[in-house]
Amino acid sequence: MRKFGWFIFFVCGLSFLVQAQNRNLKEVDSLYKEDQFYAGITYNLLGHKPIDLSQSGFSLGFHLGFIKDMPINKKRNVAFGLGVGYSANSFNQNLLINKSDNTINYSLISDVSTFTKNKFSSHLLEIPFEFRWRTSNASDYNFWRIYVGFKAGYILAHNSKYKGDLGSVKLTDIEGFNDFQYGLTLSVGYNTWNLFMYYGLNPIFSEKVVLNNDKIDINAIKIGLMFYIL
C-alpha cells in the first residue's frame, strides 16, 4: 500500500506542474491535443473462476504509456487515440502452479492457511485504442472525459511465486499462458481523477491448461484510477 501512496503522489504532483505550465503559455494552441501520456493503478480481479478458486490479498496492476490524440471534429473535443504502453499485473489466489518432471501442474490449495504467498504475475507490451469524448477547449485544462476503447497486449514475461508448507517455488516463462491478451476499456472522470475499467475478452491461460480435467477460463478484470498528462 505504501507503493500505491507514492504512485498517487507522484502522478498528481506531475499533473499539477504540467497544468500550471500550460496556463502560463501566452498563446492559445488552436490545434491542441489532450491526454497523450497516461499512468494508472488497478485492483485486479479474476472472472469466470472455477468452483473453489478464490483470491486473497491485494492484487495490483501498474500501467503507463503514450497515446497519440487525433481529434476528428472542429471543436477538437471528439477524438481517436492510438498508442503504446506497459503494464505489470499480479494476481494473488489459491491456484498452485508447480513443476514436476519438467511438467507444469495446476492444482487448487484448499487450505489457504498453508501458504503465505501464492500469485502469478505478468508484464505486457500493450496497444491501446480509444474513442474519446471530452468537454475540453484550447484554454481549459479541467474537463470531463469519457473514453471507451480496446486494448491488446503481448506478454513479455510472466512468473509464479509460492511460499508455504511446500517450501518456496518460483517459476518463470511458464508454458500455458496466452501470450496475447485483449479486452475492452473505459475511462470516466474529471481533471486528474478518472475511474478506469478493463474487461478481458480472452482467458489468461491457454486451452492446454486444465484443472480437474476442465479448462481454466479465468479472465482479467481491472478496476482502478487512470491519470492523464499533457
Phi, psi of 85, deg, nearest 5:
-155, 180
Give CA–CA dist 217/46, Å, rounded: 10
pLDDT tens-digit map of 9-44: 555 555 554 454 444 444 556 788 888 999 999 999
Residues with Cβ within 8 Å of residue 192, at least 6 apart in sequence: 11, 12, 15, 16, 227, 228
Give CA–CA dist 14/2, Å, rounded: 19
* Residue position matching grid coordinates 517459476: 171
pLDDT tens-digit map of 133-189: 999 888 777 899 999 999 999 999 999 999 999 999 999 988 889 999 999 999 999
Give CA–CA dist 104/23, Å, rounded: 56
Residues with Cβ within 8 Å of residue 24, at least 6 apart in sequence: none
pTM: 0.86
pLDDT tens-digit map of 50-96: 889 999 888 999 999 999 999 999 999 999 999 999 999 999 999 99
Split at pLDDT 50, 70, 90, the class of 109 is very high
* Exposure letters 91-124 (e unless 16+ CB within 10 A, then b): bbbbbbbeeeeeeeebeebeeeeebeebbbbbbb
Nearest alpha-carbon partner for 41 in 2, 84, 88, 81: 88
